[in-house]
A = this chain, B = another copy of it.
């Protein structure tokens, strides 16, 4: 059974534009990262959008939910900016059922050489194979249930919270 990977952007896929000195999105690095990890879990990759997660709106989240519902695969990884990862998880948990959905990302762009992205991708692939249906945020080697996680803006790490 294949695993579906949806790409939505985020720090993961940022690159450095040497003419403007700005960070920008080009193509996703997911295929390259899976090769580097010598991944042999069958995956099907599709880019849904390429945005900073701070710019992601309700329409974007509905689109992601729609793709998760329609996906033939019941194991889904979503790469996503870290800033609003917890919010997207909460919305997907309301709108999609009976699938294992893992949202992950990176604090440092993959192209910057010292990224956490490859580590996170490895753990996301492992968690999606083993966790029961539900929506999860996977960062820092841990998994968090949707609705019970937030990104600590001061430390940059993810932490568990009481369900609201």
Contacts and interface: CB of A to CB of B under 8 A. Distances in A.
A40 B157 contact: yes
A48 interface: no
A123 B120 contact: no
A121 interface: yes
Contacts of A41: 140-142
A48 B114 CA distance: 28
Instruction: Please indicate which of the listed interface residues A113, A154, A158 has the most CB atoms of chain B within 10 Å of its own CB.
Output: A113
A19 B153 contact: yes
Interface in A30-65: 33-34, 36-41, 52
B109 A111 contact: no
Interface in A109-164: 109, 111-116, 118-127, 129-131, 138-143, 153-154, 156-158
Interface string A1-28: 0000000000100101011010100000
A108 B121 CA distance: 18
A18 B113 contact: no
A52 B21 CA distance: 10
Contacts of A52: 21
- Sorted nearest first, the 7 A-B pairs with minimum C-beta distance are A113-B113, A122-B122, A37-B119, A126-B126, A130-B130, A119-B122, A123-B126
